[in-house]
Each structure stands twice: as C-alpha cells, then as structure tokens.
Amino acid sequence: MPQRNDDVTRRRLLRDGLWGACLAGIGGVAGFAAHKGQKVDWLWQIDPYKCIACGNCATHCVLEESAVKCTHVYGICGYCEICFGFFDPEPLAINEGAENQMCPTGAIERKFVEEPYYEYSISKSLCNGCGKCVKGCNAFGNGSLFLQVQHDRCVNCNQCAIAAACPSQAFRRVPADQPYLLKSVDHV
C-alpha cells in the first residue's frame, strides 16, 4: 500500500507561498481600490448665520493648526476704506501698519482698487480661525467675512471636536458635493 507523502517539500512551499502572495496582492489591490472609490458622503461645516465667532474653532480642532479659516464673499463686501474686519476699532492711522490691524496674525491683506475702495483677502496660511475679524465685520459691516471648515485641511473626524465645543450649534454635516455653506447676498 502506497504511503502518502505529507512532507513539505521546497517546491511545494514555494508554489503555495506564491499562490498566497498572489491572493494577498489581489485582495490588497481590490481593498485599496474599494477604499479609494468609496464616497465620503458627509462633511462638517459651519452655518455662518449661526456662528457667533466665539474663538473655539481656533483651539478645539484636533489639528495643531485649525482646519477652520476665515472666508470672504466679495459679493457682500462693501469694499470699505475703513473696514472693521481689517482695522482695529481704534486705529492709530487708516493704513496697513501692523499696529492698525485687527487680525492678530496679520492674515487679512488689503489691496487698493480705486479711490476710495479696497479689496480684502484672507491668507489661509496665516489665519487661525479665531473669528475676531468676523465679529468686527458682522457688527459694523455687511458680514462678508465668516468662518468655514477648509476641507483641504479637515480630517473629517467622526465626531468633530469643534462641533462638540460650539456654543451656538453652528456645526452641521453637509453633503460632500456641497461642502461649503457660503453666505448669500440676498439673505439680509
């Protein structure tokens, strides 16, 4: 009676190992493709009409540099010479000197358009999302400055740490294909 040879030969080990590696590779590629193709359905965003610019966005984000930044809708802006989002409430002079600026990080840039109009833009790399300019613009201007979660930075935590710490419940989930909640000119 012939005996079964169950000993592991070198050839058999290599063959089975190769098959295993192939299967693992195919599984890995399929998994990676499935992961890449998976649509992120919902993202965190701030409702600008509920936000009170409390400052928590600057410090409660899990990222070292908050994913929340100031946004500017130019359609609402008055292009004011004396912009209370840009200038300190008691400026020494109406010019771009750092001592006259409201933003502690110098994130708002002011550009002359034509007398007496100026355009204001936000340097995302300098803005820390504190919302000080938003307060000034809401109170004294047209409210064209407001805070938004920047999705090139946000890691979309399951529970957003800033949303949990938002005293005005301004954070909400938005569809990924409409990731920003911008103010509209006709709202007020």
The H or E element containing residue 56 is helix 56-60
Does 17 contact other proteins by CB under 8 A? no
Distance CA 34, CA 32 (A): 5
Map 10-41 to HEC letters: HHHHHHHHHHHHHHHHHHHHHHHHHHHHCCCC
Q: Which is nearer to other proteins, 42 or 117 (CB)?
A: 117
> Among 82, 155, 182, 185, which residue interacts with other proteins (rule: CB under 8 A)?
82
> Among 83, 127, 174, 181, which residue interacts with other proteins (rule: CB under 8 A)?
83
Tell me how far, at minimum, the Cβ of 150 lies from other proteins, in Å: 18
Count of alpha carbons within 13 angstroms of residue 117, beta-carbon side? 7
Token readout for 68 is: 């929340």
Does 138 contact other proteins by CB under 8 A? yes
Helix (H, G, I), strand (E, B) or coil at 148: strand
Does 69 contact other proteins by CB under 8 A? no
Other residues' Cβ atoms within 10 Å of the Cβ of residue 170: 21
Please list every residue from 88 through 117 that binds other proteins, using CB under 8 A. Answer: 89-90, 94, 102, 104, 116
Does 56 contact other proteins by CB under 8 A? yes
Does 84 contact other proteins by CB under 8 A? yes
Q: Which is nearer to other proteins, 12 or 50 (CB)?
A: 50
Number of residues that make up the chain: 188
Instruction: Give the footprint of other proteins on this chain (CB under 8 A).
Output: 49, 52-60, 78-84, 89-90, 94, 102, 104, 116, 130, 132, 135-143, 164-167, 188
